[in-house]
Amino acid sequence: MAPETSVMTGNEAAATAARLARVQVIAAYPITPQSPVVEQLAAWVESGELPAEFVAVESEHSAMTVCIGAATVGARTFTATSANGLAYMFEQVWWAPGARLPIVMCIANRAMAAPWNVLNDQQDSMSVRDAGWVQLYCRNNQEILDTTVQAYLIAEKLHLPVMVCYDGFLLSHTMMPVSVPDAEQIDGFLPPFTDPWTIVDPGDPRNIGPVTLADPRNDTEGVAAPGYMEIRALHHRALLEALAVIPAVDSAYHDAVGRSWGGLVWEHLLEDADVVLVAAGSLAMQLTLTAEALREEGIKVGVLGIRAYRPFPIEALRERLVGRSVALVFDKALSYGYEGPICSDLRGCLLGVEGAPPVFGAVCGLGGRDVSLEQLADAARGAVADAAAGMRTRETDWINLHLEG
């Protein structure tokens, strides 16, 4: 059966992916702009099209708690949230990866309050980038569907939760053609999850997530068990394993469905580029038009899109940036008192690397602030001029900011 092409929003794409993945438990609490994801899933559960348990909870904290409980007993789980909803589940956002549970959560990226703002930036997911989740960022609605399906296989191979992040309203509510794989294709790619690490057996009762001391100790059978620090090191190693697992899953998805998304990063006009524009999400797609316009001016510009932000793809970035004249990073988030988070991480991974370009940072689009192609192009021209003048670092550039004095 040939795949069906439908025109759908990014939220519909996320819900469709969860259905294709045959999720068994959905935990739902509404928040703009992700609410339509779980509303669509609720309709499918109600109609019988999706045989799953739909749990309407009283808060985002409870939504993640339900996912934790369901994943602990081996169920394939799903939830979605945005902004302050993600902040409200903060405690459980840390528990899920610490317990090594393969939960998938979609984040329709939205600005954090206060003040209240329901429009897009990436501050919400960036604020939990160190919690131990795999974080994947999508550039369009097709990638939302495909990446959410891929996220289950990544999560279940690594025993780690995965966030699939996409820009609120810019993608969540925008209609695009999306090719929907048939169920048989996805079933062949994503088999049922049969390997939970936790043991839940009334005949073999045990504590789950007990207090763990700093140093290793023998368990009840006399076998040395990791202490807290060893558990954290194993968690870290699993995230590093994702650097190989994410591309491998993307390649397997191509074999099954015929599409791939670059694995860890993606490129546009990068092969001969002197100037590289770097971003995550739909902003990186906007930069592809900026790059094409600047090439008409004779400036060799390319785009390097960040698909996997955690784990941070150090070697993939170094490989693509060494030998360039300048890299300009556009962040839709801010590490207050410092600079954009992607910019910081890119500077760090290139520090001391021979032939690495200067890395400049720009912050834009906070709270849904418009950023035009011409503004992006002006920022790129400025970076080219500063690099040509010998600058290796400079203050963060704020795009389309209106402050007096």
Tell me the pLDDT tens digit for each residue of 120-160.
Answer: 999 999 999 999 999 999 999 999 999 999 999 999 999 99
1 has pLDDT over 60: no
The pLDDT value recorded for residue 30 is 97
Cβ-in-10-Å burial (0-12, 13-18, 19+) of 317 comes to buried
pLDDT tens by residue, 226-273: 999 999 999 999 999 999 999 999 999 999 999 999 999 999 999 999
The pLDDT value recorded for residue 311 is 98
Q: 6 to each of 153, 234, 270, how far by Cα in Å?
A: 24, 42, 31
Q: What is the rounded average pLDDT of the residues 323-333?
A: 98
For 25-52, letters b (16+ CB in 10 Å) and e give bbbbbbbbbbbbbbebbbebbeeeebeb
Confidence of residue 299 (pLDDT cuts 50, 70, 90): very high
Q: Where are the domains of the chain?
A: 4-194+247-253, 266-398
Per the DSSP assignment, residues forming a β-bridge with 178 are 6
Instruction: Decide if 4-194+247-253 and 266-398 have a common fold.
Output: yes
The pLDDT value recorded for residue 405 is 59
From the DSSP assignment, how many helices (H) and strands (E) are in the chain? 13, 17
- Give the separation between CA 160 and CA 152, rounded to whole angstroms: 10
Q: What is the rounded average pLDDT of the residues 159-167?
A: 98
pLDDT tens by residue, 48-78: 999 999 999 999 999 999 999 999 999 999 9
Give the length of the chain: 405
204 has pLDDT over 70: yes
pLDDT tens by residue, 84-99: 999 999 999 999 999 9
From 122-131, 165-174, 194-203, 223-232, the region with the lowest mean pLDDT:
194-203
- Give the separation between CA 136 and CA 121, rounded to whole angstroms: 15
| CATH architecture group of domain 4-194+247-253 | 3-Layer(aba) Sandwich (3.40)
The pLDDT value recorded for residue 402 is 95
The pLDDT value recorded for residue 305 is 98
| CATH architecture group of domain 266-398 | 3-Layer(aba) Sandwich (3.40)
The pLDDT value recorded for residue 2 is 61
Average pLDDT over the chain, rounded to an integer: 96
Helix (H) or strand (E) holding 227: none
- Give the separation between CA 334 and CA 121, rounded to whole angstroms: 10
Cβ-in-10-Å burial (0-12, 13-18, 19+) of 215 comes to exposed
- Give the separation between CA 278 and CA 298, rounded to whole angstroms: 19
Phi-psi region of 156 (alpha: psi -120 to 50; beta: other; left: phi over 0): alpha
110 has pLDDT over 80: yes
